Structure formats: structure tokens, C-alpha cells
């Protein structure tokens, strides 16, 4: 192969890859209504609820703890600088803005991508290896509707919820710091939070969390479906799922934040 041919071949392969990603996503989106409670099938909804527990509820302790720690760290770091200007109360604004705009969605996405992207790709990869996917197809059941769609719905619902909870944890850690260091009362703290929090930032946070949820679940499922061969391939796929989803989450964070910045939606006041 000449150099040009190699470049062309690589380009074709990547375009095909991207095409497969998009096709898969579209296939799942079309089946998503089947999972919804009233209009869809009750059994799919039940399996989606199971997935919500697996992806969301069990991730709660870890995500909450991570957010508490990060919130406290942020307050400590901020306070050491702000104290010099006698502006310790700005720690509240710092924590609130950092968590609603950035850290809440990011910490949640990273902890879920570590826990669930790997678990999902392992589960799907194993079911490919043990021919469960073939068995579904042969029984006349659509694996996209049966296996994938409930997971997508579960991720799209639980990740924003987790993000809200993790943001609350982060902000609470800010209060904890101020209560311990300057005996700030809860009432004053709430007033300051209410001033610092903006509806626009909260919307921004939810948009981000939906984007991250899509990335994590999509990468996890695709890496699982890509498994060929034996059980050792499942191991590779779980690693790839975590690495790729973490990287893509950060990339998407940069992308969305840049868009919000350029559109002028992120400037306060």
C-alpha cells in the first residue's frame, strides 16, 4: 500500500466507525419510547428501573462522598486565598458556581463512567460471548429494545438526578467548612447560596449531565457489543469503555463549556 492509500484506508475506517456509532445511537433512540412507563412495555420499564438502581442508586454513596470531599477541598483552597482579602464569605459563591457549572456534572460523570461504563460493557460483552444476544435474536426479540434501550433510559434519567444530589453535597461541604471555621449560621449561608445560584447555571448543569449520560452509556454498550472471541476480550472491552468514556466526557465538557462561553450564556450579572 502506498502512503496515500494508507491514509485513505484509515480515513474510511474512521468514518465507518463514526457511522456505526451514529447508526447504533439512532437505533436505540427509536426504541426508547418502548421503554417508557405508559406508552411502552411494562416489562421494559421494569428492567429500566432495575438499571436505574444499578447505575444510579448504588453510585450515590461514592458520588456523594467524592462531591463532599471536593467541595471541602475547594473551600479550603479558596479560603486560603480569600482570607488574605478578608473576603471569606465569597467561599460560598466559589463553591456554588464551581459545582453548578462544572464540578457537579463532572464528578458524577467520572464516578459513573468508572462504575457503570465498565460494568455495562462487561455485562453486554459477556452476553455476546455466551451467545445470549444471538439467543434473543433467534427467539424473535430485539436486543436493542430488550437490552440496550432500558440501559439508555436509566442513564438518561439517573445521571441528572445524581448530578443534582452531588452538587448539593458539594455545596453542603462548603457550608461545613464555614460553620467549622467562622461559625456561619445556616440562615446566612442559605441567603448567600440563593444569591449565588442562577437558574441558567442549573439548566447548564442539567444539559451537561444529559450529554455525559449519553456518552457513558453509548460507549459502554458499544464496547460491549464489539467483543469478539473469548472472555479475555471482555476484559479489554471494559478497560476500553472506561478509558474512552472518561476521555470523551472531559472532551464534551470542554466543548459544551466553550459553546456556552462563546454564546455569552455563562457570564454572570
To other proteins, the closest distance from the beta carbon of 130 in angstroms equals 5
Q: Are the C-beta atoms of residues 88 and 82 closer than 8 Å to each other? A: yes
Please tell me whether residue 141 binds other proteins under the rule CB under 8 A.
yes
Selected from 137, 180, 229, 268, the binder of other proteins by CB under 8 A is: 137
Instruction: Report residue 170 as a C-alpha cell.
Output: 458539594
3-state secondary structure of 86: coil
| Shortest separation between residue 138's beta carbon and other proteins, angstroms | 5
Longest dimension (CA), the chain: 72
How many residues bind to other proteins according to rule CB under 8 A?
11
User: Would you count residue 46 as binding other proteins (CB under 8 A)?
Assistant: no
Shortest distance (Å) from residue 135 CB to other proteins: 4
Q: Which of 130, 191, 239, 268 binds other proteins (CB under 8 A)?
A: 130
Residue from 17, 134, 195, 232 binding other proteins (CB under 8 A): 134
Length of the chain measured in residues: 269
The cell for 245 is: 468514556
CA nearest neighbour of 266 among 170, 213, 198, 192: 198
Candidate segments 132-140, 160-168, 179-187, 237-245, binder of other proteins by CB under 8 A: 132-140
Helices and strands (H and E) in the chain: how many: 12, 0
Q: In the complex, what is the shortest distance from the CB of residue 146 to other proteins, in angstroms, rounded to a whole number?
A: 8
> Cα dihedral sign for 128, 130, 131, 136?
negative
Cell output for 211 = 450529554
Q: 81, 131, 195, 232: which one contacts other proteins (CB under 8 A)?
A: 131
CB closer to other proteins, 138 vs 186: 138
Amino acid at each position: 500500500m502506498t502512503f496515500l492509500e494508507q491514509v485513505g484506508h484509515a480515513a474510511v475506517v474512521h468514518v465507518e466507525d463514526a457511522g456505526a456509532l451514529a447508526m447504533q445511537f439512532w437505533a436505540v433512540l427509536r426504541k426508547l419510547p418502548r421503554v417508557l412507563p405508559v406508552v411502552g412495555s411494562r416489562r421494559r420499564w421494569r428492567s429500566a428501573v432495575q438499571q436505574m438502581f444499578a447505575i444510579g442508586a448504588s453510585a450515590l454513596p461514592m458520588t456523594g462522598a467524592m462531591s463532599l470531599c471536593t467541595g471541602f477541598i475547594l473551600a479550603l483552597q479558596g479560603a486560603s486565598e480569600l482570607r488574605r482579602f478578608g473576603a471569606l464569605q465569597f467561599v460560598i459563591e466559589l463553591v456554588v458556581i464551581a459545582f453548578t457549572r462544572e464540578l457537579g456534572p463532572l464528578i458524577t460523570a467520572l464516578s459513573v463512567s468508572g462504575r457503570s461504563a465498565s460494568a455495562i460493557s462487561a455485562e453486554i460483552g459477556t452476553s455476546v460471548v455466551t451467545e445470549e444476544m444471538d439467543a434473543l435474536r433467534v427467539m424473535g426479540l430485539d436486543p436493542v429494545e430488550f437490552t440496550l434501550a432500558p440501559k439508555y433510559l436509566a442513564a438518561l434519567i439517573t445521571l441528572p438526578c445524581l448530578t443534582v444530589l452531588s452538587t448539593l453535597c458539594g455545596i453542603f461541604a462548603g457550608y461545613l467548612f464555614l460553620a467549622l471555621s467562622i461559625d456561619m449560621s445556616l440562615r446566612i449561608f442559605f441567603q448567600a447560596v440563593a444569591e449565588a445560584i442562577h437558574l441558567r447555571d442549573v439548566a447548564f448543569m442539567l444539559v451537561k449531565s444529559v450529554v455525559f449520560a449519553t456518552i457513558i452509556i453509548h460507549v459502554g454498550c458499544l464496547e460491549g457489543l464489539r467483543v469478539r472471541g473469548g472472555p479475555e476480550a471482555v476484559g479489554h472491552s471494559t478497560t476500553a469503555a472506561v478509558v474512552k468514556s472518561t476521555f470523551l466526557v472531559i472532551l464534551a465538557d470542554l466543548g459544551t463549556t466553550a459553546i456556552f462561553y462563546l454564546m455569552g450564556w455563562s457570564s454572570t450579572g
